[in-house]
Amino acid sequence: MHLLNLEPSSIDYVFLSHCHYDHTGGLLGMLKAIGKRVPIIAHPSIFRRHFITKPHLRDVGVPFRREEVEELTELYLTAEPLEIIEGVYSTGEIRDREDFERVSLEVYTLQDGRVVRDELLDDMSIVLKTSKGLVIVSGCSHAGIVSIVKHAVMLTGEERVRAVIGGFHLIDASDERIEKTVKAFLELGVEEVYTGHCTGLKAEAAFLEAYGRKFHKLHSGMMIEL
């Protein structure tokens, strides 16, 4: 932000895509840098216990307590879609997932004292309704990036998808799932693709082959005009 001459105080809202520490770990520092109480939009379960057991027991969820956040800001925790400002929406929880995207990760949570597999229902994305169509920004796409795009279209009633931006979580996906994902993007008419983080090299190569110049690899500090 310093290199781009962006002041933290210019931030009006914070959106959390899901609980993982690499998506939430910098929050307290950012809130302190912002210097004012800005609304945080997230899923109601985001502060749950979330952990892995291999190679050893380790918490991989939000690395601080809810009370620490509430000292600095206001929480808007909802599983429902929410219009944050005009034309900018949180998708809310995405339960209607494509069959080929219903992949359970080896992550767990606690329910009534029992260890259960965590389906990451807190995975949510941002949708921007622009004059040129929808722009969808995901975090890790644990809900399935195709499911997210379809949900965004249904939520807004806008069928043109100008761009999809984010991590698609295909890094360990089978060739079949990657092929089905790229095919679905083309069928949905997604015009431009920006990928990074957990998308994976094989999936990025498949998108590059399908989209050519309309495929872009994300990097820190990248400015996108759509």
> pLDDT tens digits, residue range 52-103?
999 999 999 999 999 999 999 999 999 999 999 999 999 999 989 999 999 8
Output the 3-class SS for 82-137: EEEECCEEECCCCCCCCHHHCCCCCCEEEECCEEEECCCCCCCCEEEEECCEEEEE
Could you give the CA distance from residue 46 to residue 198 in angstroms, rounded to a whole number? 20
Crossing angle of the two packed helices 175-188 and 201-211, in degrees rounded to 10: 30
Could you give the CA distance from residue 13 to residue 30 in angstroms, rounded to a whole number? 11
**Residues with Cβ within 8 Å of residue 99, at least 6 apart in sequence:** none
Q: Give pLDDT, residue 105.
A: 86
Q: Give pLDDT, residue 190.
A: 98
**pLDDT bracket for residue 184 (50, 70, 90):** very high
Query: Does 199 have pLDDT greater than 90?
Result: yes
Q: Calculate the CA 179 to chain-centre distance.
A: 21
Could you give the CA distance from residue 59 to residue 4 in angstroms, rounded to a whole number? 34
Q: Give pLDDT, residue 103.
A: 84
Tens digits of residue pLDDT in 7-46: 999 999 999 999 999 999 999 999 999 999 999 999 999 9
Q: If phi over 0 gives left and psi between -120 and 50 gives alpha, with beta otherwise, what is residue 27? A: alpha
- The strand pair at 39-42 and 14-15 is best described as parallel
Tens digits of residue pLDDT in 102-141: 988 899 999 999 999 999 999 999 999 999 999 999 999 9
Query: Does 213 have pLDDT greater than 90?
Result: yes
Query: Does 226 have pLDDT greater than 90?
Result: no
Sign of CA pseudo-dihedral 85, 83, 64, 218: negative
Residue 62: closest CA among 73, 50, 53: 50
